[in-house]
Amino acid sequence: MASLISVIKERNKTTPTWLKILIPILGLGGLGVVAVLAALAAFVVTGWLGQPVPILGFDQTFEQPINFPHTVHAGTGQLVDASGNARLNQDLMPLEALGLDCTFCHRTVTTQANAGVPPVAQCAFCHQAIGPESSVPLTQLRQNAGITGNEPLPINWRRVTRMPDHVRFVHEPHIRFLTANPASIGNATADVNSQQAVKPALTCSTCHGDVAAMAQVEQVEPLKMGQCVDCHRANNAPTDCAACHQ
């Protein structure tokens, strides 16, 4: 050990002064470049692949592992294809949207922090039999559900609406408040004031827009701090930092 130190000391003595100054500068310069590149890579990875930075507005949407259409399941009325023709089911009858309630699938939204997305078994309940065999997304779904004989695999849905880690959001009080105060519902999809009892499903549009009309979910509201705090201030909800930040 002692000999190693003496070797280094010896080396340092012989290193020209100009090199002694240049080495740390080069080292730092290199580190600087690495830091910039790493920051850039982190930006690309988190910004584009994870949660795109909303530079093109808030119309954020993601390719999902299975292209799940809310239009078919949560919408109402006759379904049409991209060119406006009536869509037919496997028995060549006009296809009506199912009009399922949002809470049929997002079961914990009225009671918990998370809305919850249904497990593949709940989809399989219908799709074991319903929907053409030729459908690409349904074939994928049946594979995930293990209907085709293979090991079941959960579907890794990608999150569209997501708060940063330092923010706490809970659905339950919001659904409760909006159901009791329909005048505060935003982007309303029905005449909420004429309805005697507003169902929880009618409150979702306030923050998520008209999901029932979306073939692919996209984020329509910015859901930045200003929007949260404005509504909290207007409705005597907590505005202290600790209410939303952990």
Q: Site residues for ligand HEC, window 141-180 (CB under 6 A)?
A: 141, 157, 159-164, 167-171, 173-175, 177-178
Say whether residue 72 binds ligand HEC (CB under 6 A). yes
Our CB check for ligand HEC shows the closer of 55 and 241 to be: 241
Residues 7-26 close enough to bind ligand HEC by CB under 6 A: none
Q: Which two tokens stand for residue 85?
A: 């023709």
The nearer residue to ligand HEC, 11 or 166, going by C-beta atoms, is: 166
Q: Which lies closer to ligand HEC via its Cβ, residue 19 or residue 136?
A: 136
Nearer to ligand HEC, 7 or 163 (CB): 163
> Cα torsion for 231, 237, 238, 241, to the nearest 10°?
-20
Closest separation in Å from C-beta 56 to ligand HEC: 16
Among 52, 58, 69, 190, binds ligand HEC (CB under 6 A): 69
Asked whether the beta carbons of 64 and 216 are under 8 A apart, the reply is: yes
Of 184, 188, 190, 215, the one binding ligand HEC by CB under 6 A:
184
Can you tell me the distance from the alpha carbon of 131 to that of 69, in angstroms, rounded to the nearest whole number? 13
94 is an interface residue for ligand HEC by CB under 6 A: no
97 binds ligand HEC (CB under 6 A): no
Q: Quick one: 15 or 128, whose CB is closer to ligand HEC?
A: 128
CA distances from 48 to 55, 60, 225, 236 (A): 11, 11, 21, 37
Cβ at position 230, least distance to ligand HEC in Å = 7
Dist. CA 152–CA 222, nearest whole Å: 36
Chain positions 188 to 227 lying near ligand HEC, rule: CB under 6 A, are: 200-201, 203-204, 206-208, 211-212, 217, 223-225, 227
Q: Which of 34, 60, 44 is nearest to 162 (CA)?
A: 60
What is the C-alpha to C-alpha distance for residues 174 and 223, in angstroms, rounded to an integer? 14
Minimum distance, C-beta of residue 71 to ligand HEC, in the bound complex (Å): 9
| CA 1 and chain centroid, separation | 56
Q: Which of 229, 231, 226 is closest to 206 using CA atoms?
A: 231
Q: Distance between CA atoms of 193 and 90, rounded to whole angstroms?
A: 39
Binding residues among 107-136 for ligand HEC as defined by CB under 6 A: 109, 114-118, 122-123, 125-127, 130-132, 135
Q: Which is nearer to ligand HEC, 10 or 122 (CB)?
A: 122
In this structure, is the dihedral angle defined by the CA atoms of residues 42, 45, 48 and 50, taken in order, positive or negative? negative
